[in-house]
Each structure stands twice: as C-alpha cells, then as structure tokens.
Amino acid sequence: MQLGNLQEVIDQYIHDSQSVALEGFTHLIPFAAGHEILRQKKRDLHLIRMTPDLIYDQLIGAGCARALTFSWGGNPGVGSLHRLRDAVENDWPRPLEVHEHSHAGMAAAYTAGAARMPFGMLRGYVGTDLPAVNPQVREVHCPYTNEKIATVPAINPDVTVLHAQAADRQGNILIRGILGAQKEAALAATTLIVTVEEIVDSLEAPMNAIVLPHWVVTAIAEVPTGAYPSYALGYYARDNAFYLAWDEIARDRERFTEWITRHVLSSRDHAEFLDSLAEAA
C-alpha cells in the first residue's frame, strides 16, 4: 500500500484506454478522484459504474470516455444526465460505446469479478429487450434442475477507485453507510485506489464492519470532502441543491464546458475546486 497525494496517485495508476470503475452508490462517490482524472486529461477510458451520476456526466462531457458499462444513467430524483445523453444521441464530444445492464445484473457481474469467477448469474432479464442490445447477457442451464439462468460476464476493472471515511496508518480502509457494490468492485479490480476523508491512528471498526485490509489496497490519498457533492456519512450531507443545479449547467454544451473549465480545470486540487464553488455561490 502506497500513501500519496491524489495527483501523483492518479498519474501513476490510471492510464489512457484502461477500464476504470469509480464506484459508490449515491453515497461516497469519488468526485475528487474523478476531477483529477479529468484534469489530467485521461482519454479512451472504459468507464464502469452502476449509476454514472454527475461524475461520469462530467468525464463523458469532457471527452475522457470511449465506453460506458452501467445500469442506471440518470441524475437521481432530478432527471437526465445531459452529457451522457448528448454523447449517446449526438456523439458529442465523441461517440460512446454503451454496455447496458440492470442493477441486479451488474451486481452479479461485480460479485463474480471479486470471486474471480468467469461469470455471474441471476434469475433476471426475463422478458426484457436488454439481452437483444447487450449480447453479453446470455444464459446457462442449471446442471441440477435444467432451469435457464441468465448470465453476465464478470467485471474486473483495471482500476477501481473508491472514496471511504477513513484509513488507518497501515492502510486498512473503513466504509460505513450505504455501500452499493463498493466492496465487490474493490475486490474485482487489478488496482485499487482509495481516497479517504481522514487518516486515523485506529479505525475502531466494529467486528462486522466493512473493512478492506491494507494488502488489497494499492494506493491511498487523503482528500477531505472528496465525495462532494455526494456525501460521506458522519462527515457531510449530500448537496442535493447541487444535483438540482447540475441539470441546468449540463443541459447546454457551452455552459457545461465553461463550468468544467472554471471549476475543475482551473483548480489545482479538490480544495481549490470547493473554494471556486464557494466563491461562485
């Protein structure tokens, strides 16, 4: 496990054309890491996330992505991800290859990936058109009952990036609250990068807590408020007003580009990004 600053860690471990999963289901979305990927102008990434959320809307709109594997691509409770839509509907700023699943399918694919199985299975996708547009969704016959079961190939990202509440000095990671498929995505990856709210002497984790031990973690960067405008339980709330405001910002190509330039590209790091938002408010 390596402890570094976010800039170095992203530069060292994320490369053009890789498959990268920034996971976190509404909670603990690694925005700071996503913004650093954007600042470093990584290209041709195959982005993987159950819910692309605003962070992938930004990466897609900024031209970082070649492909997207996902299962629900909206702005939760608000509406569309306009940059994702523009990429799919109009190829702007570049065409986006789409690999589409249901949540249950993608959860099964991550779980298989974490266990290093070739595929995940579920009683799913019955009666839907999804297998017709995603030929990766197939089926097997149960060897015991002959029942037909849907299958999805394992997802094993080159790099998974998470945000968590805390790491201890050895590099063990504690995650509390809504988990999504973070643990599965972490263990499915070749390289695991974690940003944390803080580094502490002791995690004081309850016995059955979600802890990722230091020897599965490649690198850690301490980034306070690194999930903002998503949230970190116990540290700060989700900025729902920002999610509402994003709808207007992302609707228009010029306004989006101006926002990204002003707040992300012109900021050296996440602290400066937060300052620039506070100034604009």
**Binding site residues, other proteins, CB under 8 A:** 25-27, 50-51, 70-74, 76-78, 80-81, 84-85, 88-89, 100-104, 107-108, 110-111, 122-130, 133, 147, 177-184, 210, 225, 228-229, 231, 233, 236-244, 271, 274-275, 277-278, 281
Shortest distance, position 209 Cβ to other proteins, whole Å: 12
Residue appearing with tokens 């603990």: 28
Instruction: Tell me how far, at minimum, the Cβ of 242 lies from other proteins, in Å.
Output: 6
Q: Closest separation between CB of residue 236 and other proteins, Å?
A: 6
Give the shortest CB-124-to-other proteins separation in angstroms: 5
Rounded to a whole number of angstroms, the minimum distance from the CB of residue 235 to other proteins is 10
Using only the alpha carbons of the chain, give its radius of gyration. Answer: 19
Q: Which is nearer to other proteins, 190 or 209 (CB)?
A: 209
Other C-beta atoms lying within 10 Å of the C-beta of residue 237: 11
Q: Which CB atom, from 46 or from 99, has the smaller least distance to other proteins?
A: 99
Contact (CB, 8 A) for 71 and 106: yes
Rounded to an integer, what distance in angstroms lies between the CA atom of residue 34 and that of residue 215?
24
CB nearer to other proteins: pick between 15 and 63: 63
Residue closer to other proteins (CB basis): 28 or 64: 28
What is the C-alpha to C-alpha distance for residues 109 and 153, in angstroms, rounded to an integer? 6
Which of residues 111 and 195 has its CB atom nearest to other proteins in the complex? 111
Closer Cβ to other proteins, 14 or 150, answer by number: 150
Nearer to other proteins, 1 or 274 (CB): 274
Specify the long-range contacts of residues 1-4, CB closer than 8 Å, at least 24 apart. 1/170, 1/171, 1/214, 1/215, 1/217, 1/218, 1/219, 1/220, 2/218, 2/219, 2/220, 3/171, 3/199, 3/219, 3/220, 3/221, 3/222, 4/219, 4/220, 4/221
Say if residues 26 and 74 touch (Cβ distance below 8 Å): no
In this structure, the strands spanning 210-212 and 191-200 are unpaired
Structural tokens at position 187: 């263990």
Q: How far is the CB of 97 from other proteins (least distance, A)?
A: 11
Q: Tell me the closest approach of the beta carbon of residue 255 to other proteins, in angstroms.
A: 19
Strand bridging mode 65-70 / 45-48? parallel
